[in-house]
Amino acid sequence: MEGFFGKLYRIDVSSCTFQIEPINERIYSRLLGGKGLGSYLLWREVPAGTDPLGPENKLIFTWGPLTGTAAPGASRYGVYSKSPQTGLYGESYSGGPAAAAMRRTGCDALIIQGRAASPLWLEISDAGVDFHPAGAIWGQDTYAAAAAMLQQVPAADAQAVVIGPAGENQVVFACLENNNWRSAGRTGMGAVLGSKLVKGLVFHGQTPYPLYDAGLLKEVARQIRQQSLSHPAVNTYRTYGTTVMVGAMNGARAFPASYWREGTLENWPELSGDTFLQKFTVKPRACPNCFMACAKLAQMESERYGQITIEGPEYETIFAFGGLCRIACLEDIIYINDLCDRLGLDTITTGNLVGLVMEAVRLGRLDYPLAYGDTAGTVQLLQDIAARRDLGSVLSRGIIPAARELHLEDLAVHVKGLEPPGYDPRVLKGMGLAYATSTRGACHLRATFYKPELSGVIDPATVEGKAKLFIEYENRLTIFNTQIFCLFFRDLLGWPELSRLIQAATGVNYTREQLEQMANDIVTITRLFNAREGATRELDTLPDRLFQEGVNNGQHRLTREELSFMVDEYYSLRGWQDSGYPREQELLEFLGR
């Protein structure tokens, strides 16, 4: 197969050494790159019972055979590890220019292992790996640390991926940041890097990308661009970015508010995309080779906060702090977003945890000075979380241990230890299936199934036929994550386009059926990883609260029976056992080699 370098870098920070190791071609032909390669390496490298924050855990970076090329949307990297937040399969993705720089190093993946004797940062290029002391930048926020690292690397195309104080202090939902505002946000990848005493990584190189047919790639990319420029989704993202979802979700009455008690926010227009564009200086920004330009570079001049420049806020941050925490001012949310980026905190988890505290205070179950809408109190709690101080220290360990210690287990909303994003499953029932079956916990990105439910492709209230359609979306987006494509291209890249793009990179003309089987194998690997860690069918569910409490004055409910019906159908269509876990002897033999 073309399109791959056929090797990875293994970096041992305990000994400050690295090795270049070959990758067998059968791995590429069976699983491609990106998520396929990363999931395989995670299965192979991290045995059951590994401490997620111990030196034996591995942090694995991958990219895809189309990363950095003319393929639209192929500008993301993936990172995989055993999650310190869930104790299960962990994955996260980020966009921007960093992925292309990673691939120019001339390898297809890197594995970071061990624990350094003192803080380091790594310089990774096509010439190898250099280990630099990071004592002077340990403790700095992500913006300052990235700038300091890049200043020491003369390469003009160098890109940095860093952690903030939250990652250094091993807050289990700490994230990785690149280009200041791009986050590999979920499942605690920043905590894993921090546990290894690595402040960050700088990538650069000049190795040309291997391609089977550059001419075919150029033609397919041209056709996709030509067919897509007038697409409504492209125009909406270019104008509003993800802030458009504030209005859409409130219109559907599926906007989680008041820590999952309500499905709308009465003052939601104050947090909407229109208000965002009116109040701030906003410019569209695009990842390399992307015509969608969904990112929004916002400049804020505020008497309270001064001048802030930020790429955002995204919908999920607005939902988390504006909806769950009822912070009603976009200025405040932009400030909080900027603070989370600097500290290296995942905004979805952080907003959920702050909302849990606010709800517990409202109910008289927690004595803590924080009420709904309290921006100053929220800021203080975020700083305490990153520093692991006071109540912040309790929350920094994640929602399962925090809820147990605070006696709030009946209030806490999560799946497998990961809190849900901004789509209420009592209204969008397919999102209930998505949250329940995702191997990384409550996740909207494995299938982005809110899209067909909101757009009328399938009735959000029904459970009939949900699993079949969900698998179609999940399979296609699993193949997206082998390349690694931006998921916002889901309306633009169907199976034919995917097949032609992969052929241009690799020389292999996969049929849809072959790609779907590949996707099923990749999803199965992630399930096998969790099963090896002791996960059972009982984890594929939602918190009791979401079954017991309706939303929108009880008009929208999801029953246990409805979820069980969808989950059973999902297992059956995947070819798995009733237990929810596969019996794939041939795949197990493949993985064991």
- Residue among 156, 474, 480, 97 at smallest CA distance from 290: 97
| Contact in structure between 68 and 100 (CB atoms under 8 Å) | yes
Collapse the DSSP code of 258 into the 3-class scheme (helix H, G, I; strand E, B; otherwise coil) and give the result: coil
Q: 589 pLDDT exceeds 90?
A: no
**How sure is the predictor about 438, in pLDDT bands with cuts at 50, 70 and 90?**
very high
For 141-186, the pLDDT digits (tens) are: 999 999 999 999 999 999 999 999 999 999 999 999 999 999 999 9
For 355-409, the pLDDT digits (tens) are: 999 999 999 999 999 999 999 999 999 999 999 999 999 999 999 999 999 999 9
Bridge partners of 94, per DSSP, are: 77
Q: 74 pLDDT exceeds 80?
A: yes
Q: 81 pLDDT exceeds 70?
A: yes
**How sure is the predictor about 593, in pLDDT bands with cuts at 50, 70 and 90?**
low
For 89-128, the pLDDT digits (tens) are: 999 999 999 999 999 999 999 999 999 999 999 999 999 9
Looking at this protein, which amino acid is placed at residue 72? Answer: P
pLDDT (average), residues 464-478: 97
Percent over 70 (pLDDT), the chain: 100
pLDDT confidence of residue 495: 97
* DSSP code at position 19: E
**Residue 20 to residues 35, 38, 41, 552, Cα–Cα distance (Å):** 20, 16, 15, 56
| Contact in structure between 401 and 388 (CB atoms under 8 Å) | no
For 545-569, the pLDDT digits (tens) are: 999 999 999 999 999 999 999 999 9
Q: Please name the residue ranges forming H helices in 438-559.
A: 450-455, 466-483, 495-506, 512-532, 544-548
Give the integer Cα–Cα distance in Å for 517 and 30: 9
User: Roughly what angle, to the nearest 10 degrees, separates helices 512-532 and 34-45?
Assistant: 30
Collapse the DSSP code of 299 into the 3-class scheme (helix H, G, I; strand E, B; otherwise coil) and give the result: strand
3 state SS for 182-239: EEECCCCHHHHHHHCCEEEEEECCCCCCCCCCHHHHHHHHHHHHHHHCCCHHHHHHHH
Q: 588 pLDDT exceeds 90?
A: no
CB-based burial, 19-40: b 16+ in 10 Å, e otherwise: eeeebeeebbebbbbbbbbbbb
- Residue among 48, 199, 181, 40 at smallest CA distance from 108: 40
**How sure is the predictor about 289, in pLDDT bands with cuts at 50, 70 and 90?**
confident
Bridge partners of 177, per DSSP, are: 162, 183
**How sure is the predictor about 200, in pLDDT bands with cuts at 50, 70 and 90?**
very high
Average confidence score pLDDT of the chain: 96
